[in-house]
Every structure is written in structure tokens, then in C-alpha cells.
Structure 1
């Protein structure tokens, strides 16, 4: 049975917005530096729509999870290497072992991405994709497919690159957090209403009140998006964005 799948946010690397002044790529992993933010972020084949279609056609709702009506959002973090292949995939925030395993099984199967670039050369870039497993009000028979709730995903002004530029330009590292060495990734969920307005930002996974508050502040000030569409009409869409606060090592 195919999953009714909401790709809540095609996370823009681990660091959608880097508030610090340290150069990207301070984190070292097997195979070389891994950038949390690159000048050109990696892109999935076909963009956001291509990623959504791939997951929709490959994800299978685990039968046991379906029977027990287990739902939730799984955050998978991986590295897009200089050849565009997905490596080092791991669950950075799980929902349930059954759902975690399915999300982790499918993402590495994706065809090659367009790799991220720094100073004109392809590099390793960390990327996070949140995948929501959600059941309809009444569980259908195991063989009955579950339809997508959206035909077209919401788009930020300027696309993914525009979103990154805006966040990088508006996010401010709280001085007390910087001096105390506080860092981490804040996940903010919000609603893009049918008019494209950002509504109801809330922290679904926080790090520290100082960082959480700043992430919510920036999301709340975002300009209007192009709303999601379903069967030709604009509809609301829940979106989750990971925002990384990192300090130089």
C-alpha cells in the first residue's frame, strides 16, 4: 500500500540558515568535509516535486504500522556527495521503528542528485528530509492505495535557494547563546495557508529557548509563498523547516 505522504519540508541541508560567520564545512566526516550550508545546495532530480513523486511511488506503509494505526514524522539526515549520491543516511528524529526503517530504506534508493557546490566545485553537503506517515480517518484495506493530499507543493519566494538566502540574511545568533556555546538544530512547523501566508509557527523539536525563539521569529517574518494546490485550487499545507545554529570549532 502506498503511503499518503507529506514531505513537510525539503530540508535545506542541516543548516537552512547559518547565522554564524564561520565558513561552511567545519564538520569533518568520513570521506572529507561535510558542509551544512554550501553556496549552491544539492538538488533532488526534478526538484521538490520530483522528490515527492519518488517517495510517493517507493514508500510502502508498513503493514504492522497500518494495522496498529501508527503515524508520525521521520527526519532522515544524509550526505549528498560530490557525485550526487546519498550516503551516511540516518534517522535524526524518529517516529516509530517501523516508520523509521521504511523512510531510511527508501531515501538511499534515489537516483543521483545535482551535488552542492562550494567555490565552484562539488562538495559533500548534509541534507535533511522530513517524511510524514499519515493515515486517513478510517484505515483502508491493505490493498487500497492512499491518495496524495496535495498535487503541487507550496513554494517559497525564489524557491529553495531564495528561502536559504532570506534565512541566512535575517537569522541572528543570540549573543547569550553564542557566548555560552549553545548550538543545535531547531525544527519549526508552520502552516502555509491558501493565500500563501505563513501562519502558526511552532517549535516541534527545540534546542534552547534562545535559539528556538529566534528561529520562530524569523519564520514568522517570511514573505508570502506560492500556496500548495490540490485539483487546481489553492489549499493549506503544513511545512516543517530545520534551522541550524552552528559555532566555529
Structure 2
């Protein structure tokens, strides 16, 4: 009986290890989520766009403004909303900039385009 347990142990360990590796390979080969891209880059390219287009003179006080928007399956910016209001002028400016935003390359899951929501905070500090 002891020999049977030892043989069974040596047989099951390689099988369990193989199944874990196979599962990890399947996860990556199936093509899990690929993030949306803005102008061929990531969120950094989007930040550059915001910095260039946003009129900072509209911001009247320090604090955080947070907006949320959806990148649909075609790469359009839709469902724009402000989730944390700093003041009306800066919120309006943020919406204006997002409305003029060019198309994104949509996110993909398993090779198919999907829509995703992005939350984007902007922190404004007091001028010295």
C-alpha cells in the first residue's frame, strides 16, 4: 500500500504541473484583454492630447476633476460624464476636449473589439 501511494504521488505531480502550465499558455494564447490605444500609444499619448487641448485658464481652484468615458467597439469616445466635479467651468472644458478627441484603436478581447470605460482624473494644484 505504501508503494502504491508513492507511485501514485510520482504520477500525479507531473500531471498537475503540466496542467498548470497548459492553463497558463491557454490564457495568453486566447488573447486576453488588449487595452485601447490612442494615436498609436497608450494613456501617455492621451495625456499629451489633453495637455495640448485643455484650456487651463478655465480652472478656478485647486482640486481633482474626474471624468469617465467609453471607448466603443469602433474607437469613438462616447458616454462622457463627470464623476467628480471641481467646478462647472473646468468640467465643461473637459467635456469639450473629449468631444473633439480623435478615434481610438478599440480594446480587444480574444481578437474582437470591445467597448471599455476609462476613468480619467485631473489634479490641479494652486499657483504659487
In the TM superposition, residue 159 of structure 1 has moved relative to its aligned partner by: 2.1
Contact 1:185 / 1:245 at 8 angstroms: preserved in 2? yes
Unaligned runs of 5+ in 1: 1-149
For the pair shown, the structure with the greater C-alpha radius of gyration is 2
Aligned alpha-carbon RMSD (Å): 1.7
Aligned residue for 2:49, secondary structure, equals: helix
Query: Which deviations, in whole Å up to 9, do the C-alpha atoms of 1:225-247 show, x marking residues without a partner?
Result: 11011121001111111122333
The answer to whether residue 43 in structure 2 is matched with residue 160 in structure 1 is: yes
**Paired position in structure 1 for 2:3:** none
Per the normalisation by structure 1, the TM-score is: 0.36
Per the normalisation by structure 2, the TM-score is: 0.67
**Paired position in structure 1 for 2:99:** 220
Instruction: Write 1 or 2 for the structure with the bigger share of strand.
Output: 1
**Paired position in structure 2 for 1:108:** none
Unaligned runs of 5+ in 2: 1-31
**Paired position in structure 2 for 1:206:** 85
In the TM superposition, residue 186 of structure 1 has moved relative to its aligned partner by: 0.9
Tell me how far apart the structure 1 counterparts of residues 52 and 86 of structure 2 sit (CA, whole Å): 21
The answer to whether residue 77 in structure 2 is matched with residue 194 in structure 1 is: no
Instruction: Write 1 or 2 for the structure with the bigger share of helix.
Output: 2
**Paired position in structure 2 for 1:151:** 33
Moved >4 Å (runs of 4+): none
